Structure 1
Amino acid sequence: MVIVNEYGDLLYKSKTDSRKNGIVFAILGILAFVGANFIYAKAMLIIIGVIFLLIGLYLLLFKRHESISIYTHAIVLNLREKKIVKKEDIEHITYEKVKTRKSPVASYYPVLGLKNGDRVLINVAFNDVINKDFEAVIKSYL
């Protein structure tokens, strides 16, 4: 006996980008603490390290539950509360381009345009290098 989910088959499941940012901030905070031992002005670097570490811990502890699941009939966003966007409620999907100064590759974030006029940002980036499976699923979704 096969158990079928009420939203259809699972096409994609992932955590959002906030977890990666939390890890980066925590590592920068730890490096600032270690680097403070090697310079003369220790207090300033320790303060910067504490700030980075607190931001990283906030992102890891309070935003770690943010995830996305794409099913054949709905997209489930687990942010602070669970948000379900049914496929028939989506009018179109647009992509917001984000290009950083140091990266030669631009990243795109999908934005769901709903029939009631609302917009829902999906916090998972894709480009030519990362998240190719997410790109294939989201572009073929409608």
Structure 2
Amino acid sequence: MNKWRNLLYKSRTDSLKNGLVFTILGIAIAIGANVIYAKIFGYIIGLMFILIGLFFLIFKRSDHIAIHEHAILLTVKKQIVIKKEDIKEIAYKELNTHKNPITSYYPVLLLNNGQEIFINIAFNKLINRDFEKIIKSYL
């Protein structure tokens, strides 16, 4: 049994799968451009798909988070274990985008030692409803 008890929430990361799919599709389009009449067009489309795939693989990596009963495991570049006793409160950072009328919220963990840890997973009334329920009822 896990020492942090039951797993309440684990984030899903699609950026790795999307990055691989776009990169492989771009390579296939670039190779397939040799058999079509408009080779330059095929090379350009293939290169665009490869660049989108590399963008997802390199820059669009999302944070991995696992919420257990007694701790939150946050993996950004290394794994950080935040025990439930060390969290003073959970605040929410509000983000309004100019094109989207729906406000998104990002949780910020306020620790007992005064440190703030930003969790890069947004939720609103349309996305990540299960994450919202668990993070709001965690303390």
Query: TM-score w.r.t. structure 1 length?
Result: 0.70
1:99 aligned partner: 96
Gap regions ≥5 residues in structure 1: 31-41
Report the CA distance between 1:51 and its aligned residue: 6.0
Structure 1 moving runs of 4+ over 3 Å: 49-54
- What is the CA deviation profile of residues 60-89 of structure 1, one whole-angstrom value per residue up to 9, with x for unaligned ones? 6xx36x310000100001211000000000
Report the CA distance between 1:57 and its aligned residue: 3.0
Q: 2:64 aligns with which of 67, 77, 80?
A: 67
Counting aligned pairs with the same residue, the percent is: 43
CA RMSD of aligned residues (A): 3.5
1:56 aligned partner: 56
1:127 aligned partner: 124
Alpha-carbon distance change, 123 to 15 in structure 1, aligned in 2, over 3 angstroms:
farther
Gap regions ≥5 residues in structure 2: 27-40
Alpha-carbon distance change, 112 to 55 in structure 1, aligned in 2, over 3 angstroms:
same
- What is the CA deviation profile of residues 3-39 of structure 1, one whole-angstrom value per residue up to 9, with x for unaligned ones? 3x111111111136xx55x949x96xx7xxxxxxxxx
- Residue 18 of structure 2 contacts residue 53 of structure 2 at CA under 8 Å; is this kept in 1? no
Query: TM-score w.r.t. structure 2 length?
Result: 0.71
The alignment covers a number of residue pairs equal to 129
Partner secondary structure for residue 141 of structure 1: coil
Alpha-carbon distance change, 9 to 58 in structure 1, aligned in 2, over 3 angstroms:
same
Report the CA distance between 1:99 and its aligned residue: 1.2
1:8 aligned partner: 5
Instruction: Mark the structure with the bigger radius of gyration.
Output: 2
The 1-side partners of 2:122 and 2:110 are apart by 17
